[in-house]
């Protein structure tokens, strides 16, 4: 059990390290998101290509978009945490099983 906790903590630290390293190493990048940049690559390959459909709801700006992404992560994390909480408590109060 104790060994498991150590392993989990080390793994989580590793995750953070992998995510942060590019930020420290690459200084001149904004780490731009996919959507716009991928469009540019297609335009470079095929300059005449016209996207033939538009998103039905486009967030008006970065703030609203980040709100929705936060909401997605928040909802997910809430449900996930609720589930884990249930499982942990179940084990704690069902010592016999």
Partner 1 sequence: MKSKKQRFLIAATAALTLVFGCVESVSAMHIMEGYLPLNYCVIWGVLCIPFLIIGLNSIKKTIEQNRKALLILVMIGAYAFVLSALKIPSVTGSSSHPTGTGLGAILFGPTAMCVIGVIILLFQAILLAHGGLTTLGANTFSMAIAGPFVAYGIYILCKKLNLSKSAGVFLAAGLSDLFTYSVTAFQLALAHPSEVGGFQASFVEFLGIFAVTQVPLAIIEGLLAVVVMKGLESYARPELTELRYLEGGN
Site residues for partner 1 per CB under 8 A: 1, 4, 7-8, 11-12, 14-15, 18-19, 21-23, 25-26, 28-46, 49, 51-59, 65, 68-70, 72-73, 75-80, 83-84, 86-88, 90-91
Distance CA 14, CA 20 (A): 10
CA 11 from centre of chain? 17
Cβ at position 63, least distance to partner 1 in Å: 13
Nearer Cβ to partner 1 (37/96): 37
Nearer Cβ to partner 1 (34/96): 34
Distance CA 65, CA 63 (A): 5
Cβ at position 82, least distance to partner 1 in Å: 8
Burial 23-33 (b: 16+ CB within 10 A, else e): eeeeeeeeeee
Cβ at position 53, least distance to partner 1 in Å: 4
- Are the beta carbons of 23 and 31 closer than 8 angstroms? yes
């Amino acid at each position: 059990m104790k060994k498991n906790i150590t392993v989990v903590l080390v793994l989580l630290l590793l995750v953070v390290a992998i995510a942060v390293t590019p930020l420290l190493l690459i200084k001149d990048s904004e780490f731009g998101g996919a959507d716009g940049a991928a469009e540019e690559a297609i335009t470079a390959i095929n300059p005449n290509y016209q996207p033939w459909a538009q998103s039905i709801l486009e967030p008006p700006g970065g703030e609203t978009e980040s709100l929705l992404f936060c909401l997605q992560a928040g909802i997910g994390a809430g449900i996930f945490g609720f589930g884990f909480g249930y499982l942990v408590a179940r084990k704690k109060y069902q010592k016999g099983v």
